[in-house]
Amino acid sequence: MSEASNALPHGYALHEYRVESVLGAGGFGMTYLATDTNLRLMVALKEYLPSDYASRGGDNTVQPKTTATTESLQWGLQRFLDEARTLASFRHPSIVRVMRFFEANCTAYMVMEFVEGQPLHEWIAARRPLSRAALLGIAAPLLDGLEVVHEAGFLHRDIKPANIFIRHDGSPVLLDFGSARQLMSGKQEMTAVVSPGYAPFEQCYSHGKQGPWSDLYAFGGVLYWMVTGNRPVEAAARVRQDIMPAAVQAADQRVYGTEVLAAIDWALKPHEDERPQSVPDFRQALFGAGAQSDRIERTARLAEGDAPTIVSERTRAGGDTGLIGVVLDREQVKRVEAELARHIGPIAAVVVRSAVRNAASIGALAASVAGEIGDEKERAAFGRKFAAAEKSGPPTGRTQTGPQQEAPVSQKFSADTLHRAETALAQYIGAIARVVVKRAAAQSRDEAELYLLIADEIKDPAEKKAFIRKAISVSGRR
């Protein structure tokens, strides 16, 4: 086979990495399963080897096919290294992590985490029809990761089921950035990348108007396939006359809802100007008006690591639009995940993660996810188990107001005060400032203490000192 003959041999050593086998090959290079012999860790090793311009020499170096392709090969090599630097700076659990890159064999290599799990198309085969909660539980973290890529000025350009993995814990990860390209100002020529059904029409030719909307077309194509079971019709066949059934017609509206299916159809518009232009646009259409605040809270939970508690939010009874912070014990949440996993598999972690935000207690959390269990008797038993545990055991949920049951945040601080604090802190830590301020406000007695608490998020000592001095002096004049 040509792929095997062009690959590095089993056991070949590159620095501390030993090649074990070929994971995959594409137009831009080869990916190997390798062992880091220092750390005794399996990694994915990606080699730059564009089949149009280069071939493997007898000494395993990568050489241009002809003198005419030398310049293109070198240009692509520099791009590969530039992209590796950028990808290595990404820190998001839904983006495959680049750990290192280096040059060798007249080419370059990227060392990436080896993701153990299943490709999305294999994982989903035994789980159709997919529930709405499972669909959105996969889509949300992937969109968060894709937004990180776009904010760095890059496009993925090859989003498809084969490039999405589901880890053993049920979390999704976006792989294979071999076709990724950096967006630059002005007109730009990009190589054509065509994965039938998932590539938008502008990717079928080098001067197409590519942007975030191009990745969102592919993302919409993946969601279309998830809800209908059918791969989208190739984009080129849809330009003059769109022959593809819309998701709102082809998928079950009772399961997914009209809004979700309409959002998928929007992303799959043949003309790029008619699609969502950014991840936030599409996220809001897919998840509703609260989508951005949900994303901020997911980011905050990631930053917390293994904190002993999980903070959820719920709307007060009686129509009050204020939010009450509720602290759920992490071990209890894990128990719900583990029990649910016995019925629906690893996706339980994603389903629970999506539901925990609106849960007022562990019992309420269990009741909200029980609907994912198909068998009626098992579903009822699951709900009874956690309802009984909550009645007989110690409280697993409590309002985040401290042992003295202090006044709610909304009574202690005005909306204007909290907004000023968020705006000031956001200059240092970005959008996550909203969550930080909300939690600090629940522990603070006055505005000065609030600013002292949130200042701890600022890492630079000089900036932290200036922030406290300025903030407290301003609050003292009010």
- Considering the domain architecture, whether residues 314 and 385 belong to the same structural domain is answered as yes
Q: What confidence tens digit (pLDDT) does each residue in 114-133 have?
A: 988 889 999 999 888 888 98
Range picked from 15-29, 349-363, 417-431 for highest mean pLDDT: 15-29
Q: What is the CA radius of gyration of the chain?
A: 25
**Segment 67-81, tens digit of pLDDT:** 999 999 998 898 888
User: Both 135 and 249 in a single domain?
Assistant: yes
| Contact in structure between 425 and 296 (CB atoms under 8 Å) | no
Is 79 found in the same domain as 8? Answer: yes
* Confidence category of residue 306, pLDDT binned at 50, 70, 90: very low
Angle at 391 between CA 388 and CA 393, to 5 degrees: 95
- Percent of the chain at pLDDT exceeding 70: 76
Q: Where are the beta strands (DSSP E) in 150-298?
A: 154-155, 164-167, 172-174, 181-182
Q: Are residues 254 and 270 in the same domain?
A: yes
Task: Name the band, by pLDDT with cuts 50, 70 and 90, for residue 473.
Answer: low
CA proximity to 222, closest of 148, 150, 288, 142: 142
Is residue 102 over pLDDT 90? yes
Average pLDDT over residues 52-80: 91
First-residue to last-residue Cα distance in the chain: 76
CA distance 394 to 366: 16
**pLDDT score at 147:** 93
Q: Provide mean pLDDT across the span 41-69.
A: 92
Other beta carbons less than 10 A from residue 243's beta carbon: 8
3-class DSSP assignment, residue 133? helix
Same domain for 137 and 259?
yes
**Mean per-residue pLDDT of the chain:** 79
Closest CA to 193 of 1, 52, 382: 52
Taking the CA atoms of residue 357, residue 420, residue 280 and residue 190 in that order, the dihedral angle to the nearest 10 degrees is -130
- The CA-atom distances, in angstroms, between 246 and each of 125, 227, 230, 329, 345 are 22, 11, 11, 43, 30
Is 301 inside any structural domain?
no
Q: Is residue 134 part of a domain?
A: yes
Residue 166 sits in a domain of what CATH number? 1.10.510.10
Name the nearest CA neighbour of 138 among 316, 354, 310. Answer: 354
Q: Is the pLDDT of residue 327 over 90?
A: no
Given a cut of 70, whether residue 443 has pLDDT beyond it is no
Distance CA 110, CA 100 (A): 6
The CATH number for 48's domain is: 3.30.200.20
State the pLDDT at residue 476: 52
- Assigned domain for 297 exists: no
In this structure, the answer to whether residues 253 and 125 fall within a common structural domain is yes
Secondary structure tally for the chain: helices H, strands E: 19, 16
Query: Is residue 323 in a domain?
Result: yes
Could you tell me if residue 404 is inside a domain?
A: no
Q: Above 80 in pLDDT, residue 261?
A: yes
Q: Determine the pLDDT at residue 399.
A: 41
Question: Are residues 273 and 128 part of one domain?
Answer: yes
Residues 159 and 256 in one domain: yes
Q: Is the same domain home to 338 and 469?
A: no
Do residues 394 and 321 share a domain?
yes
Indicate if 122 and 36 belong to the same structural domain: no
Rounded Cα distance between 89 and 87, Å, is: 5
**Residue 131, helix vs strand vs coil:** coil
pLDDT for 475 equals 54
Tokens 């562990």 -> residue: 362
Q: 35 and 73 in one domain?
A: yes
The domain tally of the chain equals 4
Question: pLDDT value at position 270?
Answer: 92
Residue 469 CA to residue 463 CA, distance in Å, equals 10
Q: Which domain holds residue 197?
A: 117-288
Domain boundary among 113, 139, 171: 113
Residue 60: pLDDT band by 50, 70, 90 thresholds? very high
Q: What is the pLDDT of residue 144?
A: 92
Which pair of structure tokens corresponds to residue 187? 């007109």
| Percent share of the chain, pLDDT over 90 | 32
Residue 44 in this model has a pLDDT that exceeds 90: yes
Res. 21 pLDDT band, cuts 50 70 90: very high
pLDDT, tens digit, for every residue of 382-416?
888 887 665 555 444 444 433 344 445 446 788 88
- Residue 339's nearest CA partner among 375, 311, 302, 378 is 378
Q: With respect to residue 294, please indicate whether it lies within any of the assigned structural domains.
A: no
Residue 299 domain-assigned (yes or no): no
Rounded Cα–Cα distance for residues 303 and 279 (Å)? 21
pLDDT in tens, 353-372: 767 666 667 887 888 788 77
295 domain residue, yes or no = no
